[in-house]
Amino acid sequence: MKALNRQIVLAARPNGHARPSDFEFVERPIPVPGDGEVLFRNLLISVDPYQRNLMGNASTELPPIDIGQTMPGPTVAVVERSGNPEFAVGDHVVSWSGWREYGLSDGSDLMKVDPEAAPLSTALGVLGHTGLTAWIGTTRFLDPKPGGTFVVTAAAGSVGSVAAQIAKLRGHRVVGIAGGPEKVRYLKEELGLDEAVDYKAPDFAEQLARALPDGIDTLFENVGGRLFEALMPYFNMKAQIVICGTIAQYAFPGASDGPNRLPELLKAFLYRFIVIRGFSLTDHFDAYPEFAVEMRSWVSQDRIRYREEFVDGFENIPGAFLRLFDGSNTGKLIARLG
């Protein structure tokens, strides 16, 4: 066991996009588990866009973490010492310990995972909170009409790609929106979506019009900002929309340039009878077992595919996180510790 526990803490609140100097590496003693406690070593650390929101000066309504606090988030870990009879040395667990090498817990926030059942990394993605988010959003709130057009934004992302495939499994015409030709190829050729649109392309507006000859019946929205505004004219009568993320807005709390498009949206509610909602994942944690059975089955039959992007080495987490916001990432981003 190493003598020290490296952690990445918030050093400064970003203005706009985060920068490397907003993070600081600190070394603290490895804690010693007391009675009932578990010491675990993180093997895999989740790196997610929403973590920008925890840093402050962000487009969130939740309070940010304190300066000096370790960046929070889920991890997969192995138990190294245990004073808790429910956990044995060598057990694998999902923890919420964040960007640190070692964590201590009383066990209440740990969930055991079986490394034989599926790759451990899937516990942070397709079989974890991102997969659950996609599954809840698509199955609990969207009731698309058969044959209708189902649009997913950030469709190559860890949540969007699963949502888009669930919609395909349910027989809908699915249009994915993502940035760049490689993601478009992935959506059409590997995930089998009906259409994919490149929002970065100079002919984005024309691509969108070609992909949506019959408008949008259902939208699983992960982006917000200008992309949402571009989709508004396509909302059909009685369109159903779930807002699952607004990644384009996260780093810009005051983002309000351009004309005020809010009156146009209110008008769409009135004349097109649309419904838009957000949802709280925590309200649906009790659905986890049902989700896990269905998603494990889909994944094992290759009916739901997923991509993971690994970054090796604890020290490379901040850089990988920053790249989440330049659109170059595809699939679930996971830091793999040595």
Residues pairing with 40 in the sheet = 79, 103
Please tell me the distance from the alpha carbon of residue 195 to that of residue 207, in angstroms, as a whole number. 10
Work out how close the CB of 216 gets to a copy of itself at its nearest, in angstroms, rounded to a whole number.
15
Q: Which is nearer to a copy of itself, 213 or 263 (CB)?
A: 263
Say if residues 240 and 144 touch (Cβ distance below 8 Å).
yes
Tell the smallest beta-carbon distance from residue 243 to a copy of itself (Å). Answer: 4
Positions that interact with a copy of itself (CB under 8 A): 59-62, 221, 224-225, 228-229, 238, 243-246, 249, 255-280, 283
- If the CB atoms of residues 56 and 103 are measured against a copy of itself, the closer one turns out to be 56
Closest approach, Cβ 335 to a copy of itself, in A, equals 25
Quick one: three-class SS letters along 215-259?
CEEEEEECCCHHHHHHHHHHEEEEEEEEECCCHHHCCCCCCCCCC
| Residue-wise burial string across 89-125, b where 16 or more C-beta atoms lie within 10 A, e elsewhere | eebbbbbebbbbbbbbbebeebeebeeeebebbbbbb
What's the CA gap between 17 and 127, in Å, rounded? 29
β-pairing, 308-312 vs 275-277, is unpaired
Give min distance, CB of 275 to a copy of itself, in A. Answer: 4
**CB 177 → a copy of itself: shortest distance, Å?**
16
Nearer Cβ to a copy of itself (59/70): 59
User: Nearer Cβ to a copy of itself, position 4 or 281?
Assistant: 281
Residues 6+ apart with CB under 8 A from 302: none
Residue 167 vs 242, nearer CB to a copy of itself = 242
Nearer to a copy of itself, 102 or 220 (CB): 220
Cβ nearer to a copy of itself, comparing 210 with 277: 277
Q: How many whole angstroms separate alpha carbon 285 and alpha carbon 71? A: 23
Q: Cβ of residue 193: shortest distance to a copy of itself, in angstroms?
A: 24
d(CA 80, CA 201): 49
Q: Which is nearer to a copy of itself, 264 or 290 (CB)?
A: 264
